[in-house]
Amino acid sequence: MIRVGVDVGGTNTDAVVMEGKKYLGGTKCPTTPDILTGVENSIRGALTEAKTNPSKVDVLIVGTTHFVNALVQRLNLANTGLIRLCLPSGSSILPFTDWPKSLIDGMGGSYRLIKGGYEMDGSEISRLDPDELINAAKELSNLGCKQIAISSVFATVRGDMEQEAFEILTKAVPNLSITLSKSIGGMGLLERENAAIINASLKPLANEVVDSFKSLQNNLKLSCPMFFTRNDGTLIEAAEVIDLPVLTFACGPTNSMRGAAFLSGLDNALVVDVGGTTTDVGEIQDGFPRLAGTSVMVADVRTNFSMPDVISIGLGGGSIVSSEDPLSIGPVSVGHELPQRAKVFNGDTLTATDLAVAAGRCKIGDKKAPSLTSLDKLIEIMDKMISDKVARARTSNKVIPVIGVGGGSVMMPSKVDGLEVICPPHNDLANAVGAAIAQVSGQVSRVVLVDDNIDRDSAIKEVTEEAKKLAVERHADPKTISVLTVSDMPLSYLPGNNLLINVTVVGDLLLETN
Amino acid sequence: MSVKKLTFVDKKSLNAIALGGAVLGSGGGGDPYVGRLMTQQSIEKSGGVKVIDIESLPDDALILPIAMMGAPTVMVEKFPSGNEFAQLIPMIEKMLTKPVSAILCAEAGGLNSTIPFVAASKLGLPIIDGDAMGRAFPELQMVTFTLGGISATPMAMVDEKGNGCTFDTISNVWTEKLARAITIQMGGSAMCSLYPVTAKECKDYLIRGSLSLIHHIGNIIEKHSFNAYEILVKELNGKHLFQGRVRDVERRTEGGWNRGIVRLEGIDEFVNRDAKIDFQNEFLVAMEGDNVLATTPDLICVFDANTGAPVTAETIKYGLAVNVLGLPCDPIWQSKEALDMIGPRYFKYDIDYKPL
């Protein structure tokens, strides 16, 4: 099966063509302000290098930072209103609590608390009042919110009330677009609600992005199915991204770590991804990124996405260097203007890349590297920036390799924090490779009453079988399915043990090949 | 150890208090984040809270301990209405026919380390620097006041729906039984005021300085993140019990308790070794094979090895790398009478308490 993987980063857009596990070709192009030109350039370049006709491509897989960037820059966010089904509970912590003001301003920050929600045993706190709901939605709509997020207390135990609210509003106020917190899932009302609000605010952009990628497919004569990559390194169909763009949020770091594991053949290692502006450090365990503990901050908002635990620093190939006292590197970067502005390209700005060339770590550019009296000291500062973060990303003293990936990885020393640095072939395109090799997941959450008839282990096994079935329906190859995560949580004070079991399995994509 | 005295709590100091409270929670007592946000919202609306020494009050002043009762899991989904304390405190004042002079934190661990600030802020009352546990414990009678024969009642309890209820019982164990039953009916969490004491009674049984202490611990974690555990071991005379990765978390909810076992696989200097921690809301017993590492009433605290943040029994997850610390409990808990109430045998573990 021939796959094209694309990863849109802040500085560069990478594309690779792969046949099974074989790398056929790839390119790196600057990310363009309109995104799509960069994507088109890189896919064309990769197909040419791989000598592959577009008609031979079986699947196109895209990882993009569109959505997280929009959030970080507070751009293209739709005015969003939240309706929380909770009263009489809930008012002691209001929605949008602890959000940065600039982000609240970016999407309005309007909300209504109304009657509803569930107790932990699934009984109603109070019944949903359709009139109250419709009024709340109309008020929010009058404030300019066409996007509505709905959250309900214990929606993870019972999703019916959010669903009911969705159906009532779809009939009564048809011009609204609605995100339900249960489709994002996870315990913690505030975190789930935050994720739902963010999702809602990104939906119009998601629609545009998917549409534009579809027309791009036409331009490139790629008539194959298109998928996007999710936060956990697995695939989501384009149609699903329109409704749930937040599921693709953290795919950048995930893709680069998955790509690093694949290219190096290592399942357990630290990954240092040096880009044009920033460096991300994370860890892969059994081939997948180590996930952050409990809650994750996204653009300074607490959410409950499963995201890789990544430490970032403002150091990249384009980081601007001050060679006068006080010596400093970054965080400001020349970004994708590196080929014009770096000294080794006859430019006028001293960058981290110039330091690496001067120190003999790599050969880049057409000009000799500048000679600097403070070179040794600057290199020491640069190496320390990376090794500090590597030390923090480690969870043990165990000696494991460090995989260097990304365009800027040529700047890395041969050892970091006492660990050997491995730079596998094509490591500058690791994130596009990670997208190309993305797998299919099946996730099932189900409540099981554990009693004399079924114990915890058998219950988990049953749910696992269900998840496997789902993955197969989503085109996973049954022979390759393995369990990624299992968790179980007790639900209630009812007699017996009601367990909420969550299982995620992954397998390789199996499509009918051209 | 030098702990800076806490005299006033505003929005800025809340994060450290919640963090330190989570540490003394010993894995239990609920997500301090929710408590912090509640307090923050309350302080924004009603102002900060003065922290005072018990000695500054006349002997006959009425002091009201405040706590949330119920399952921590409920509180991350179902937040209080915020009107609970305005209903609760008049209920108690009416029963005692006396106005309240100060609020006391019943339990300086977990969510309950912050909840009393909500009450104090809403009612414009000061809060006493101290508590009645020095950590988190799972049952209502497990406070120093019980050792002094002080009754938990008259006690009042309200839920977010506006239901209120008062108790008059023959023993603190009965209060626990009845109040727990009502908590379940109220939907798993309720706000209560219990052990109303005079300043004189309070002076004899108060664990002093706990609020300053949690603020101090929180500051250490904010400053030293993943290295904080090393400093805490030194400053609090604790022990680094284990470093490992979570390999299994088995949970069950029984009669209102979040019970289970966390199994750890050693890393770093603990490689090739396994440990397990039994929890019943709080982490109660840590073992390596047959070797007991620590038991209640000493504190078993778990920290995320990457961030240094305290980890609760509710949120601990497969794959997380953690440091496990043992911290000594207040000496008041080491008497035979106290151990009968909060020692390992009370929680049905067939082992004796051995101080760290």
Q: What is the DSSP string of A246-281?
A: GGGTTHHHHHHHHHHHHHHT-SSEEEEEE-SS-EEE
CB burial class (10 A; 0-12, 13-18, 19+) of residue A314? middle
Query: How confident is the prediction for chain A on average, in pLDDT?
Result: 89
Residue A411 placed within a domain:
yes
Residues A419 and A447 in one domain: no
**Domain end marker among A224, A249, A274:** A249
Angle at B213 between CA B208 and CA B214, to 5 degrees: 120
**Which segments in chain B show pLDDT lower than 70?**
1, 253-257
Measured between CA atoms, how close is A493 to chain B, in angstroms? 6
- Between chains, do B78 and A397 touch, taking CB under 8 Å as contact? no
On the question of a common fold for B8-211 and B226-347, the answer reads no
Residues A241 and A369 in one domain: no
Count of CB pairs separated by less than 8 Å, A with B:
135
Q: What pairs with residue A443 in β-bridges? A: A504
Using CA coordinates, name the residue in chain A closest to B248: A487
Q: What is the dihedral of CA A164, A167, A168, A174, to 10 degrees?
A: 160
* Cα–Cα distance for residue pair A215/A211, rounded to 1 Å: 6
Per-residue confidence (pLDDT) for residue A265, from 0 to 100: 95
What letter represents residue A413's amino acid? P
Residues A368 and A333 in one domain: yes
Is A154 near chain B, with CB under 8 Å?
yes
* Cα–Cα distance for residue pair A95/B160, rounded to 1 Å: 17
Q: What are the strands, taking DSSP E only, across A334-481?
A: 402-405, 415-416, 419-422, 440-450
Question: Sign of torsion, CA B304 B307 B312 B318?
Answer: negative
C-alpha to C-alpha distances, A169 to A150, A178, A184, B70, nearest whole angstrom? 11, 9, 19, 35
Structure tokens at B316: 């601990």
Residue A293 placed within a domain:
no
Per-residue confidence (pLDDT) for residue A493, from 0 to 100: 37
- Between chains, do A88 and B81 touch, taking CB under 8 Å as contact? yes
Assign residue A13 the CATH number of its domain.
3.30.420.40
Q: CB-CB: which of A92, A119, A290 is closest to B79?
A: A92
Domain count, chain A: 4
* Cα–Cα distance for residue pair B178/B154, rounded to 1 Å: 13
Give the list of residues 6+ apart from residue B102 with CB closer than 8 angstroms, or none: B52, B57, B61, B63, B64, B125, B126, B127, B128
Using a CB-CB distance cutoff of 8 angstroms, which residues of chain A are in contact with residue B40? 97-98
**Domain end marker among A404, A434, A464:** A434
Which helix (H) or strand (E) element contains residue A473? helix A456-473
Residue A216 near residue A273, CB atoms below 8 Å: no
> Is omega for the bond preceding B116 within 30 degrees of 0, making it cis?
no
Structure tokens at B308: 């240094």
Using CA coordinates, name the residue in chain A closest to B186: A119
Q: What is the average per-residue pLDDT within A224-230?
A: 92
Using a CB-CB distance cutoff of 8 angstroms, which residues of chain B are in contact with residue A86? 78-79
Residues A183 and A91 in one domain: yes
* Cα–Cα distance for residue pair A355/B90, rounded to 1 Å: 70
Angle at A126 between CA A124 and CA A130, to 5 degrees: 110
Q: Which fold has domain B226-347?
A: CV3147-like (2.40.390)
pLDDT single digits (tens) B21-48:
999 999 988 777 889 999 999 999 999 9
Residues A410 and A474 in one domain: no
pLDDT single digits (tens) B198-250:
999 999 999 999 999 999 999 999 999 888 999 999 999 999 999 998 888 88
Alpha-carbon A467 to chain mean position: 22
* Cα–Cα distance for residue pair B164/B183, rounded to 1 Å: 11
Angle at which helices A189-219 and A36-49 cross, to 10°? 60
Is B245 near chain A, with CB under 8 Å?
yes
Per-residue confidence (pLDDT) for residue A514, from 0 to 100: 46
Q: CB-CB: which of A89, A94, A497 is closest to B252?
A: A497
Residues A46 and A72 in one domain: no
Residue A89 placed within a domain:
yes
Residue A482 near residue A507, CB atoms below 8 Å: yes
Q: What is the average per-residue pLDDT within A202-225?
A: 92
Residues A471 and A426 in one domain: no
* Cα–Cα distance for residue pair B139/B342, rounded to 1 Å: 9
Using CA coordinates, name the residue in chain B closest to A392: B306
Is A268 near chain B, with CB under 8 Å?
no
Residue A317 near residue A408, CB atoms below 8 Å: yes
Angle at A146 between CA A142 and CA A151, to 5 degrees: 100
Q: CB-CB: which of A117, A396, A490 is closest to B321?
A: A396
Q: Name the residue among B47, B53, B52 with its Cα closest to residue B10.
A: B47
- Whether A431 shows a pLDDT value over 70: the answer reads yes
Measured between CA atoms, how close is B48 to chain A, in angstroms? 16
CB atoms within 10 A of CB A33: 7
Using a CB-CB distance cutoff of 8 angstroms, which residues of chain B are in contact with residue A89? 78-81, 160-161
Pairing of the two strands B164-167 and B155-158:
antiparallel
Residue B153 near residue B95, CB atoms below 8 Å: no
Least confident of A13-22, A60-69, A220-229, A313-322: A60-69
Using a CB-CB distance cutoff of 8 angstroms, which residues of chain A are in contact with residue B187? 119-120, 125
Residue A303 placed within a domain:
no
Using a CB-CB distance cutoff of 8 angstroms, which residues of chain A are in contact with residue B31? 188
Indicate the pLDDT class of residue A396, thresholds 50, 70 and 90: low
Residue A59 near residue A509, CB atoms below 8 Å: yes
Reported ipTM: 0.87
* Polymer length in residues for chain A: 514
Residues A188 and A41 in one domain: no
Q: Name the residue among B325, B93, B187, B159 with its Cα closest to residue A153.
A: B187
Q: What is the average per-residue pLDDT within A309-330?
A: 89
Residues A488 and A374 in one domain: no
Is A101 near chain B, with CB under 8 Å?
no
* Cα–Cα distance for residue pair B50/B127, rounded to 1 Å: 6
Mutation for B interface: A114, A493, A501, most B CBs within 10 A = A493
pLDDT single digits (tens) A457-505:
898 999 999 999 989 988 899 999 989 888 877 654 344 567 778 888 9
Measured between CA atoms, how close is B257 to chain A, in angstroms? 9
Is B73 near chain A, with CB under 8 Å?
yes
Residues A80 and A221 in one domain: yes
Q: Where are the domains of chain B?
A: 8-211, 226-347
Structure-token match 């497919």, residue found: A217
Pairing of the two strands B102-105 and B62-70:
parallel
* Cα–Cα distance for residue pair B74/A106, rounded to 1 Å: 32
CB burial class (10 A; 0-12, 13-18, 19+) of residue B327? buried
What is the 3-class SS of A335-351, one letter each residue?
A: HHHHHHHEHHHCCCECE
Residue A489 placed within a domain:
yes
* Cα–Cα distance for residue pair B313/B310, rounded to 1 Å: 10
Residues A109 and A219 in one domain: yes
Angle at which helices B32-46 and B11-24 cross, to 10°? 150
Per-residue confidence (pLDDT) for residue A112, from 0 to 100: 98
- Between chains, do A91 and B81 touch, taking CB under 8 Å as contact? yes
Q: What pairs with residue A8 in β-bridges? A: A13, A64
- Between chains, do B38 and A92 touch, taking CB under 8 Å as contact? yes
Per-residue confidence (pLDDT) for residue B256, from 0 to 100: 57
Structure-token match 């189900």, residue found: A446
Q: CB-CB: which of B187, B311, B319 is closest to A119?
A: B187
**Domain end marker among A413, A434, A455:** A434
Residue B54 near residue B203, CB atoms below 8 Å: yes
* Cα–Cα distance for residue pair A81/A145, rounded to 1 Å: 6
Residue A280 placed within a domain:
no
pLDDT single digits (tens) A17-30:
999 889 999 999 98
What letter represents residue B161's amino acid? K
Q: Name the residue among A194, A378, A456 with its Cα closest to residue A304.
A: A194
Residues A28 and A155 in one domain: no
Residue B248 near residue B224, CB atoms below 8 Å: no
The class that CATH gives domain B8-211 is alpha beta
Indicate the pLDDT class of residue A325, thresholds 50, 70 and 90: confident
Using a CB-CB distance cutoff of 8 angstroms, which residues of chain B are in contact with residue A396? 243, 267-268, 271, 321
Name the DSSP letter for residue B287: E
What letter represents residue A494's amino acid? L
Q: Name the residue among A332, A326, A297, A325 with its Cα closest to residue A311.
A: A297
Higher pLDDT, A239 or B127: B127
Using CA coordinates, name the residue in chain A closest to B318: A487
Structure tokens at B211: 């609020």
Q: What are phi and psi of B50, to 5 degrees?
A: -80, 135
Residue A84 placed within a domain:
yes
Residue A270 placed within a domain:
no
- Where on the phi/psi map is residue A450: left (φ > 0), alpha (ψ -120 to 50), or beta? beta
Is A393 near chain B, with CB under 8 Å?
yes
- Between chains, do A93 and B76 touch, taking CB under 8 Å as contact? no
Residue A82 near residue A148, CB atoms below 8 Å: yes
- Between chains, do A90 and B305 touch, taking CB under 8 Å as contact? no
Residue span of the structural domain in which A421 resides: 311-434
- Whether A73 shows a pLDDT value over 70: the answer reads yes
Structure-token match 């915890």, residue found: A456
Per-residue confidence (pLDDT) for residue B257, from 0 to 100: 65
* Cα–Cα distance for residue pair A309/B319, rounded to 1 Å: 12
CB atoms within 10 A of CB B177: 15
Which helix (H) or strand (E) element contains residue B40? helix B32-46
pLDDT single digits (tens) A270-297:
999 998 888 999 999 888 888 876 677 7
Structure tokens at A242: 């329109």
